[in-house]
Amino acid sequence: MSKSVYFLLSILILAASAAGIACDAELEGETDGELERPLAGGETTTFDRSSSAFTNPAANLTEKNLEHHFLGDVRFENQFVSAPATVNPGLGPVFNNTSCLNCHTENGRGMPAVGNRPGKSQALVRVSLPADRGDPELPGGPVPVPGVGTQIQDQAIYGVAAEAVVEIDWVEYGGSYGDGTAYTLREPVVTLTPSDGGSFDPEMMTSLRIPPPVHGLGLLEALDEETILAAADPDDADGDGISGRPNYVYDVQSARTVMGRFGLKANQPNLLQQAAGAYRDDMGVGNPLFPDEDEEGYDIDFETLEATAFYTQTLGVPARVDWADVTVRRGERLFEAIGCASCHTPTMTTGDHEIAELSRQTIHAYTDLLLHDMGPGLADGRPDFEATGSEWRTAPLWGLGLAHTVLPLSGLLHDGRAGSIEEAILWHGGEADGSREAFRTMSASDREALLAFLRSL
Ligand code: HEC
Ligand code: HEC
Ligand SMILES: [Ca+2]
Ligand SMILES: [Ca+2]
Ligand SMILES: [Ca+2]
């Protein structure tokens, strides 16, 4: 290398470090809160942005809890088969898939197409009848459809008929940004054909769902009710057009109605019951919380159920990247300026949890865990406890930038209709109409900044 090249290089290095100093100086004025944002999950935060980013245990687990986590990890992966069998019997008789992991691939957002793996799907269809058509399965919950209950199981063990064949067609819509740039949105249309050759009750309501990511959920369980309620504004008293409210759902263990937090309409009170419901309804695996009808005893014991739930409680959250980048910071300000942060709450602090590692953590989940009316475009028309047919729980956005690193075919939104972050935003309606329009009509460079921020999560 010639002397002049060395000279040029050292000038470049000097210039780069000078820029670095300027950057640090700029950051010195920031509040601690903003500096903490890269640590999305507080002390549980992990530093892996690879395709396994959502599968790491919380960084702060004690050795004992880490062991328990790995035990739960095995449960989450266990493939169930039909009884009698020596390992993991009890699948079915009807089911949607054979393990938690088959649907929650790499713990990320699922793929929307039903049947895109031979014989198995990650999406599932919930069904129910209007409230005046019968008794709910759980107090205050959806009314089961005779013969198929509240969920369509499209798979069955040998010799048993699945409940229905599920088919999805996609309808496309065109639209354009304020600057004339065109975009395309697509929406699923579900067709259910009962396997017995009959037809479903014309009043049956259906809702297609894909799995949301499962990292960081223990921290959401650890939020105090008061923290969640503080952001609720059911009657929109402050007049900003946003009126989040919690769902209230039935807790099987305490036999009480409590605040809902998990599931796409916040229809589950805690991760234990979420796992128990998944075992019975998604895999046909009866358990102490939700026994299999027509089967004696349980397919799994309480210990197994608890370990699986523990696994989902103790997954860490990946740290943000590029959070100090100028464009990303501009995008972050836009996110707050156009009202995204009114639902996707940037910062909250957890309360006490029986898993001490989850307690008193400052987290950046970008959800308020509240239900919001998202307008007719996203409505499924199927109420779930207090959630109406157009309300959904604000989706957590931590790890959003990794969605397609983790699983390239992941869908966004409750039914996976959005293939990209832009599409997900463009589907926002109802209480989020104003935010959506602000995004749609902003300049291309502002849109790019907002997306750069979202990709940094
Ligand atoms: C057939 C696919 C499928 C299987 C199998 C499955 N899940 Fe899910 N999971 C989903 C879908 C779809 C949702 C969203 C459900 C809804 O809100 O209606 C979900 C939601 C969840 C949630 C809530 C996440 C959140 O953000 O609130 C957790 C936790 C979860 N599943 C854990 C499990 C566990 C544990 C198992 C195994 C015992 C399991 N799942 C098996 C598809 C599946
Ligand atoms: C009124 C509350 C509200 C506002 C305002 C809002 N969102 Fe959302 N957001 C939601 C809800 C609820 C969902 C879940 C909707 C669904 O699944 O159908 C969601 C979902 C998303 C998703 C999909 C996440 C995933 O994992 O599937 C993204 C991305 C997103 N919002 C970004 C934004 C951005 C960016 C803005 C501002 C332009 C914004 N949101 C404004 C409530 C809101
Ligand atoms: Ca069974
Ligand atoms: Ca069923
Ligand atoms: Ca309000």
Nearest CA to ligand 2 atom 10: 394
- What is the band of 294 on the pLDDT scale with cuts at 50, 70, 90? confident
The DSSP result for 119-181, as a single string, is TB-S-EEEEEB-GGGS--SSTTSPBPBTTTBTEE--EE-TTS--SEEEEEEEEEEEEE-TTS-
Indicate if the pLDDT at residue 443 is higher than 50.
Answer: yes
- What is the band of 295 on the pLDDT scale with cuts at 50, 70, 90? confident
Q: Which ligand is nearest to the CA of 430?
A: 2
Q: Tell which wins on pLDDT, 118 or 350.
A: 350
- For residue 84, report the distance from its CA to the centre of ligand 3, in Å: 11
CB 264 within 8 A of CB 392: yes
Indicate if the pLDDT at residue 9 is higher than 60.
Answer: no
Quote the percentage of the chain above a pLDDT of 70. Answer: 90
**CB-ligand 1 contact for 111 (6 Å cutoff):** no
- For residue 150, report the distance from its CA to the centre of ligand 3, in Å: 17
The mean pLDDT of 354-379, rounded to a whole number, is 98
**CB-ligand 2 contact for 109 (6 Å cutoff):** yes
> What are the residue ranges of helices labelled H in 259-301?
271-277, 283
- For residue 349, report the distance from its CA to the centre of ligand 3, in Å: 39
pLDDT of residue 18: 37
- What is the band of 422 on the pLDDT scale with cuts at 50, 70, 90? very high
Helices 63-77 and 302-313, packing angle to 10 deg: 110
pTM over 0.85: yes
- Could you tell me which of 142, 139, 190, 132 has the C-alpha nearest to residue 383? 142
**CB-ligand 2 contact for 453 (6 Å cutoff):** no
Instruction: Report the mean per-residue pLDDT for the chain.
Output: 91
Our mutation pick for probing the ligand 2 site, out of 236, 317, 343, counting the most ligand atoms within 8 A of Cβ, is: 343
Determine the atom of ligand 1 nearest the C-alpha atom of 283: 5
Indicate if the pLDDT at residue 5 is higher than 90.
Answer: no
Indicate if the pLDDT at residue 264 is higher than 80.
Answer: yes
Determine the atom of ligand 2 nearest the C-alpha atom of 393: 12
Nearest CA to ligand 2 atom 9: 394
- For residue 286, report the distance from its CA to the centre of ligand 3, in Å: 5
Each residue's pLDDT tens digit, 303-336: 999 999 999 999 999 999 999 999 999 999 999 9
The DSSP result for 199-258, as a single string, is ---TT-EEEEE-PPP-TTHHHHHTS-HHHHHHH--TT-TT-SS---B-EEEEETTTTEEE
- Could you tell me which of 432, 430, 404 has the C-alpha nearest to residue 343? 432
pLDDT of residue 36: 60
Q: Which ligand is nearest to the CA of 300?
A: 3
- For residue 8, report the distance from its CA to the centre of ligand 4, in Å: 70
Cβ-Cβ contacts under 8 Å for 350 (sequence gap 6 or more) = 42, 219, 222, 223, 224, 227, 358, 359, 360, 361, 363
- Tell me, what amino acid is at 310? F
Indicate if the pLDDT at residue 420 is higher than 90.
Answer: yes
297: which DSSP letter? S
**CB-ligand 1 contact for 211 (6 Å cutoff):** yes
pLDDT of residue 34: 53
Cβ-Cβ contacts under 8 Å for 211 (sequence gap 6 or more) = 103, 104, 109, 110, 122
Cα 254 to Cα 270: distance, rounded to the nearest angstrom: 12
CA 352 distance to own-chain centroid: 23
Indicate if the pLDDT at residue 19 is higher than 50.
Answer: no
Determine the atom of ligand 2 nearest the C-alpha atom of 264: 17
pLDDT of residue 197: 86
pLDDT of residue 417: 96
pLDDT of residue 6: 39
The mean pLDDT of 61-87, rounded to a whole number, is 96
- What is the band of 120 on the pLDDT scale with cuts at 50, 70, 90? low
Indicate if the pLDDT at residue 203 is higher than 80.
Answer: yes
The two three-digit tokens of residue 103, written as one number: 């649907």
CA atoms within 13 A on the CB side of 108: 26
Q: Which ligand is nearest to the CA of 153?
A: 4
pLDDT of residue 14: 38
Spans of all domains in the chain: 32-95+213-455
Each residue's pLDDT tens digit, 393-417: 999 999 999 999 999 989 999 999 9
pLDDT of residue 22: 35
The two three-digit tokens of residue 342, written as one number: 């009114």
